[in-house]
Amino acid sequence: MKQAFALFAFLFLFQTSNAQLFKKEKITYDANQGRGTTDFKRFRWGYFLGFNNYDFNFDYNQDLQDIYVKTTTGFNVGLIGNMRINNFLDLRIEPGLNITTRELNYSTTYFLDEEPRDIDLIREVKSTYIHLPLLLKVSTKRVSNFKPFIVGGFSVALNLSSNQDNPNDNKNGEFRSIKNPTFYELGFGIDFYLHNFKFSPSIRGVFGLNDELVRDEDPNSPWTSNVHSMKTRGLFVNFTFQ
């Protein structure tokens, strides 16, 4: 699923950039009409829409069968605040709302003392993140009406769907994760210069830094005892407008 997701996004970027390569007219800023590129401005604002595909990366205490994570395609929306440092560097924040669902599928090998029910083998993890990244954008020299870039940085999130403080655990069907995961992010994209705005599709990988699992009260819990760490990893495809 993730490979097809990334391939589709890459093909979109490639085809769009090819179309721009053969466009001879270079769009520049028109002060009288207030149109064209606004790269010279110290601060710029915009918004983004996009898709996400979140996963979990598990490390285990014992060599049992992996927990299978069934992922879905989620939705991103948010704002952009961009500060120009020079022609090639920009500092930006992108506060946004990211919505996703992951389903964990356990093997019966985790349940040594009893025969599990079907509902015990599946845990649904819904996440609604208030996502706040601080990013450094490094751009190449502009060619005609497009400019490739790479972007990287760190982010924090507030998981509004977290049940970290819920006293119930997996014995009562509650799979718990922490409220405030942290991440590092790496990606690339292309700025396309249009007459009325700048359009920037991008692809970004998101990688968790801290363990997000809240353990069950039972130290021998089949759902959490064998998990050494559970960290988010994900893929974003965003379309920004400035």
Hey, which residues does 208 pair with through a beta bridge? 183
Which residues, in sequence order, are CB contacts of 200 under 8 Å at separation 6+? 149, 189, 190, 191, 192, 239, 240, 241, 242
What distance in Å separates the CA atoms of residue 164 and residue 159, rounded to the nearest whole number? Answer: 10
pLDDT for 15 equals: 56
Better-predicted residue by pLDDT, 11 or 180 = 180
Alpha helices in the chain (DSSP H): 2-21
Mean pLDDT for the stretch of residues 79-99: 95
What distance in Å separates the CA atoms of residue 145 and residue 193, rounded to the nearest whole number? Answer: 5
What distance in Å separates the CA atoms of residue 13 and residue 190, rounded to the nearest whole number? Answer: 8
**What architecture does CATH give domain 2-241?**
Beta Barrel (2.40)
- Give the tens place of pLDDT for each residue, 141-198: 888 888 999 999 999 999 999 989 898 899 888 999 999 999 999 999 999 988 778 8
SS3 222: coil
What distance in Å separates the CA atoms of residue 189 and residue 106, rounded to the nearest whole number? Answer: 37
Better-predicted residue by pLDDT, 63 or 91 = 91
Banded model confidence at residue 233, pLDDT cuts 50, 70, 90:
very high
pLDDT for 14 equals: 53
For the chain, the domains span 2-241
- Within 10 angstroms of residue 30's Cβ, the number of other Cβ atoms is 11
89 pLDDT above the threshold of 80: yes
Banded model confidence at residue 114, pLDDT cuts 50, 70, 90:
confident
The whole-model pTM stands at 0.82
Which residues, in sequence order, are CB contacts of 93 under 8 Å at separation 6+? 80, 81, 132, 133, 134, 135
- Give the tens place of pLDDT for each residue, 14-73: 555 455 444 556 666 554 444 456 677 889 899 999 999 999 999 999 888 899 999 999
SS3 176: coil
